Chains A and B, each alone.
Chain A
Amino acid sequence: MPNSPRAPRRSLSALVTALAVVVAGCAGDLSTGDLQGVVIEEPTPKPAFTLTDTEGEPYDFASETEGRVTLLYFGYLNCPDICPVHLAQIAEVFDREPEVARETDVVFVSVDPDRDSPEAIREFLDNFDTDFIGLTGTRKELDAAQSAAGVPKAVLVGEGEDYTVDHAGWVIAYAADGLNHSIYPFGVRQSEWANDLQILTEIQG
């Protein structure tokens, strides 16, 4: 196993249990409200990190997205499987629910700085939604951002140009109050996104 990543701050068993709830269709645990994602029992604040956006400008994540529902996802452009599905599903929900789209920032952080230039990230994201925000940085900055966000650090695997990147598979959601109330492992349905994004806009600080 390559470079064992640090366990995420959230307990794995909570993740797995909650994942089971998502898979089972979330028959109501009313104490978690009506969120259908994996609910974080003790919501955490937005991580403090500054990376570089696709215009080459510094992007202070917490301050740029202040007061807005924010979806944070770490991925890479050569990823053909789960990254585009996550992003395309969110984009389709946005197409159907323009009010939700207006209230929500989607921030995609490339964890493959050697291959993914800011221009390439912009082009990649424009396939889904031209308002999606793309970030990159040095490997050290990206490691710090992942650590601050509580996800395992991405690990490059393989030789030469065709390496793949092991990376966190879930989308982190922050409500309008700036807190992370729920996360979305791969497999979340569009109906669940639509439901939860609406609720996240209503959780005010």
Chain B
Amino acid sequence: MRRAVAVLCALAVVGLVTGCQGPGGIAVTHARVGVPAGPNAALYFTAANEGGETDVLIGASSDVAGGVEIHETTQAEDGTMRMRPVTGLDLPAGETLSLQPGGLHVMLIDVEPLEEGEDIAVTLHWESAGDMEVEAEVVSPAETVTDEQDHG
């Protein structure tokens, strides 16, 4: 029994180190936001659903932004990039959702000036897991791309 507790504690520590674990089994990692050059900034992160049921990201909020929306950028056939609001993002049990440049992002609208290196708090609203506060590091927009997207 004591060993089991120790294992749980170790897992909890890992959870703290690698990200935020919500009550519904949603783990958010690699939360980062590009330094805003204009009025808006994009937040990206990876969310894993470690619970047993599909959850849905229905919105987000942050004290540093006038408004927050979930957006998806897609490329049209002629190469035009289109950004559109998304009402909810499904995250099935056992699956991982990656928000990254050129795809999905959480847009921080009319965002306050942010400095590279600082952390900002954003609350993600999940349909089942409820509100989850995540810390996102402010980085150069060039560093918001994933390793698969760059540094090759």
Q: Which residues of A contact B (CB under 8 A)?
A: 5, 7-8, 12, 15, 25, 77-82, 84-85, 87-89, 91-92, 120, 124-125, 127-128, 151-152, 155, 157, 162, 164, 166-170, 185-187, 189-191
Contact = CB atoms under 8 A, between A and B. Distances in A.
Contacts of B138: none
B140 A12 contact: no
A169 B77 CA distance: 11
15 contacts: A80-B107, A80-B108, A84-B38, A85-B141, A85-B145, A87-B141, A88-B140, A128-B37, A162-B109, A164-B82, A164-B83, A167-B81, A168-B81, A187-B102, A190-B150
Q: 6 closest A-B pairs (Cβ-Cβ)? A: A169-B81, A77-B38, A88-B142, A84-B141, A127-B37, A88-B141
A7 B77 CA distance: 9
B75 A169 contact: yes
Residue among A7, A84, A152, A162 facing the most chain B CB atoms (10 A cut-off): A84
Interface residues of B, number: 36
A5 B78 CA distance: 8
Residue among A92, A155, A166, A168 facing the most chain B CB atoms (10 A cut-off): A166
Interface string B120-152: 000000000000000000001110110001111
A166 B76 contact: yes
A7 B149 CA distance: 27
B35 A127 contact: yes
A189 B151 contact: yes
Given A88-B142, A152-B78, A187 B40 contact: no
A164 B71 CA distance: 11
B39 interface: yes
Contact of B142 (A85, A155, A169, A187): A85
A150 B99 CA distance: 31
Contacts of A91: 142
A28 to B, nearest CB: 15
Residue among A88, A89, A91, A190 facing the most chain B CB atoms (10 A cut-off): A88
A185 B79 contact: yes
B101 A85 contact: yes
A167 B80 contact: yes
Interface in B36-91: 36-42, 71, 73, 75-84
A177 B107 CA distance: 40
A12 B78 contact: yes
Contact of A191 (B77, B109, B145, B152): B152
A186 B39 contact: no
B80 A169 contact: yes
B73 A81 contact: yes
Residue among B38, B71, B102, B142 facing the most chain A CB atoms (10 A cut-off): B38
Contact of B152 (A8, A25, A85): A25
Given A91-B142, A127-B35, A80 B42 contact: yes
Contacts of A80: 34, 36, 38, 40-42, 105, 107-108
A151 B140 CA distance: 28
Residue among A85, A92, A166, A186 facing the most chain B CB atoms (10 A cut-off): A85
A82 B142 contact: no
